[in-house]
């Protein structure tokens, strides 16, 4: 069945990203190499950390062990498909929106990549289902949870704030239910009902994936803020709202001029103040 790509709007800024990095690195030949070049130019450091059965690339500034709150950013689905019909060899996002959001965040923060993304697709356990129909599978979520737990232990973070863009918002919802120290959750243009999303666009079902809309509501100890774009035709606010309405402590905020890709990096600095209050309120409620 014909399947089109999900999550990020890959490709729109590829030329601009290469132009920004070309002076220092040349125009890298793969999505993973381009992503790393952009991360380098943003002053972020890459390393590999083990999850549960899979390796993960993580990106961060130099962080000291804080013992307090750590923000964990999760990127979009990237480009699972090429031209809607051919499975990509490297699904790494060409538009690093979550990476840009991390760069604008002065708080202790790290971006945790997915299994088989960021140049790790040749690992023996990787196969195209990991970034197509099973992109939100139990195997993916379990390994992401293991990687996040290791990152949190490294920085002695007692509280986690999960921040997911597009398909990263899907993963943030799925991770929040199994990580005991999550105190706040923010999604940006997050696909919170994958079944409704595939039906809306006429895509093949994401068989093998977990759907946040079919999970039990998150515990009230987790404060939630869900951001949607009024012009978003990929993940319309109408798909997000029913899931948010079921949650115990969740807000939905619609930005009328935003779409799926624009203009979250511009809006993010003003959102960060509310993210900080959300984390503080959640920490207080958990005491």
Share of the chain above pLDDT 70, in %: 85
Task: Give the model's pLDDT for residue 277.
Answer: 81
pLDDT digits (tens, 9 = 90+) for 189-223: 999 999 999 999 999 999 999 999 999 999 999 99
163's CB contacts (< 8 A; 6+ apart) are 71, 72, 73, 74, 98, 101, 172, 185, 186, 187, 188, 275
pLDDT over 70 (residue 16): no
pLDDT in tens, 38-51: 999 999 999 999 99
Residue 255 lies in a domain: yes
Question: Is pLDDT above 90 for 118?
Answer: yes
Q: Is residue 2 part of a domain?
A: no
pTM of the predicted protein model: 0.89
Instruction: Examine residue 116 and state whether it is found in any structural domain, yes or no.
Output: yes
Asked if residue 273 is part of any domain, the answer here is yes
| Average pLDDT over the chain, rounded to an integer | 88
- The answer to whether residue 4 sits within a structural domain is no
Within a domain: 67: yes
- Position 9 in a domain: no
Domain membership of residue 7 (yes or no) is no
Helix 14-25 / helix 31-41 crossing angle, nearest 10 deg:
70
Q: How many domains does the chain have?
A: 1
Parent domain of 43: 14-286
What CATH number is given to the structural domain containing 84? Answer: 3.40.50.1820
- Residue 4's pLDDT is 42
């Amino acid at each position: 069945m014909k399947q089109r790509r999900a999550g990020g709007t890959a490709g729109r800024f590829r030329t601009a990203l290469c132009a920004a990095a070309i002076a220092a690195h040349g125009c890298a030949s793969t999505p993973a190499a381009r992503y790393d070049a952009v991360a380098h130019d943003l002053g972020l450091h890459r390393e590999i950390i083990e999850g549960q059965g899979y390796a993960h690339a993580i990106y961060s500034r130099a962080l000291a062990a804080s013992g307090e709150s750590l923000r964990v950013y999760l990127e979009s689905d990237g480009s699972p498909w090429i031209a809607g019909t051919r499975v990509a060899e490297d699904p790494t996002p060409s538009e690093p929106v979550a990476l840009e959001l991390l760069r604008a965040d002065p708080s202790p923060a790290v971006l945790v990549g997915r299994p088989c993304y960021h140049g790790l697709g040749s690992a023996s356990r990787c196969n195209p289902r990991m970034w197509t129909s099973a992109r939100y599978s139990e195997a993916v979520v379990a390994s992401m949870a293991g990687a996040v737990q290791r990152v949190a232990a490294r920085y002695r973070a007692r509280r986690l704030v999960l921040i997911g863009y597009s398909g990263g918002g899907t993963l943030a919802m799925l991770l929040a239910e199994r990580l005991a120290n999550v105190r706040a959750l923010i999604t940006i243009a997050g696909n919170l009902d994958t079944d409704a999303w595939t039906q809306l666009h006429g895509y093949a079902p994401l068989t093998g994936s977990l759907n946040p809309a079919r999970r039990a509501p998150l515990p009230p100890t987790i404060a939630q803020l869900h951001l949607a774009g009024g012009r978003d035709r990929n993940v319309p606010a109408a798909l997000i709202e029913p899931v948010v309405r079921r949650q115990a402590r969740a807000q939905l905020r619609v930005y009328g001029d935003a779409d799926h890709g624009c203009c979250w990096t511009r809006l993010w600095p003003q959102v960060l103040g509310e993210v900080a209050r959300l984390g503080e309120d959640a920490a207080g409620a958990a005491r």
